[in-house]
Amino acid sequence: MKVEKEKQVTETETSVAESTVNSSQNEDSHTETGIEYFNGVEISKLSKKQKKKYLRSVNWNKVKKEKRKKERLKTKEKKIYAKLHGIDLGPSRKELKRVKMANSPCKISVCIDLSFDELMIDKDMAKTIKQVLRIYTLNRRAKAPMQLHLSSFNGKSEKEFSRHHGHEHWDINFHTDEYINIFPKEKLVYLSSESENNIMELEQDKIYIIGGLVDHNAHKGICYNKAVEQGIAHGKLPIEEYFWMKQRKVLTINHVFEILLYVSEGNHFKEAFEKILPKRIDKIATDNSSVDNDNSALASNETSIDNEDTIILNNDNTECDVSKSKEEMV
């Protein structure tokens, strides 16, 4: 009786999957000689788990357009509200076209190391790329953007990035090779919370490397060990100089970048931590509360952006509302 019931459920799921495919499109599915495939597997041969995933994907494609419409309306309302209340929305589209890394007064370089593809499941890889997209948005909206690089851009990272059509035209430096083969070794500084070296100021001729890895707890010390093995400099953000924190100081990729960007604008690290560190992180200010605002060697500019919004750009680097939802990214 149980076997018969399971068979009936399977047949029903197969029937639903095959009937919905004609009314919805999926970038993970394709048709060859009239046979529909999902992730390289024929629909009729999908396992129970694969069928559920396929159906979720089909259902998402059905509601995606409506969801995008609501998001665009919400963005429009926010812009109207900001205009009425004198809130800075950041640079206009015309300004974004003019502001490029090449003509930026800020020559501080940040490189995201994407060599950890094989250490992450697809879900974490998607999260990593989503954080990289956030980084790109922040840098594009800065009045003096930093020099942004992606190294080891191949494999899973390139595949995940290819979902964002036109990315090859974005104002970002893509490198298939590893950073060690791209930049002078003596100018590299790998950021790691395990390092004993506090970075108290940013240097214009240095390349600061951020590990493109989401699940740090499963690979503790991997970035630090990599820097030591390669014989390059390493350092950490000076959080403990200003705050005492209960938990391990591992931040998201985009938070690390945002802190660096804020400091590159002429602000102090302490101010950056107060502004950018997530509220959920339990931190207590230490006695070392003095702030040295003399960062005249760094470019001074402002970055204004809502932390909940992700603005991606068209091929011509103008903004378009294609904020990725959690469901789509994962």
171 has catalytic annotation: no
> Torsions phi, psi of 31, nearest 5?
-115, 135
Alpha helices in the chain (DSSP H): 2-20, 48-84, 93-98, 122-140, 155-161, 222-230, 253-264, 269-276, 326-329
Q: Cβ atoms within 10 A of the Cβ of 318, count?
A: 12
For residues 37 and 26, what is the distance between their CA atoms, to the nearest angstrom? 10
Placement of tokens 């665009």 in the chain:
72
Burial label for 77, CB within 10 Å (0-12, 13-18, 19+), is: exposed
Q: Cβ atoms within 10 A of the Cβ of 220, count?
A: 13
The CA angle 223-204-148, to the nearest 5 degrees, is 55
* Cβ-contact 133, 324 below 8 angstroms: yes
Catalytic, out of 88, 113, 205, 215: 215
Instruction: Give the C-alpha distances (Å, rounded to integers) separating 49 from 17, 89, 221.
Output: 12, 44, 35
User: Which residues participate in catalysis according to the annotation?
Assistant: 215
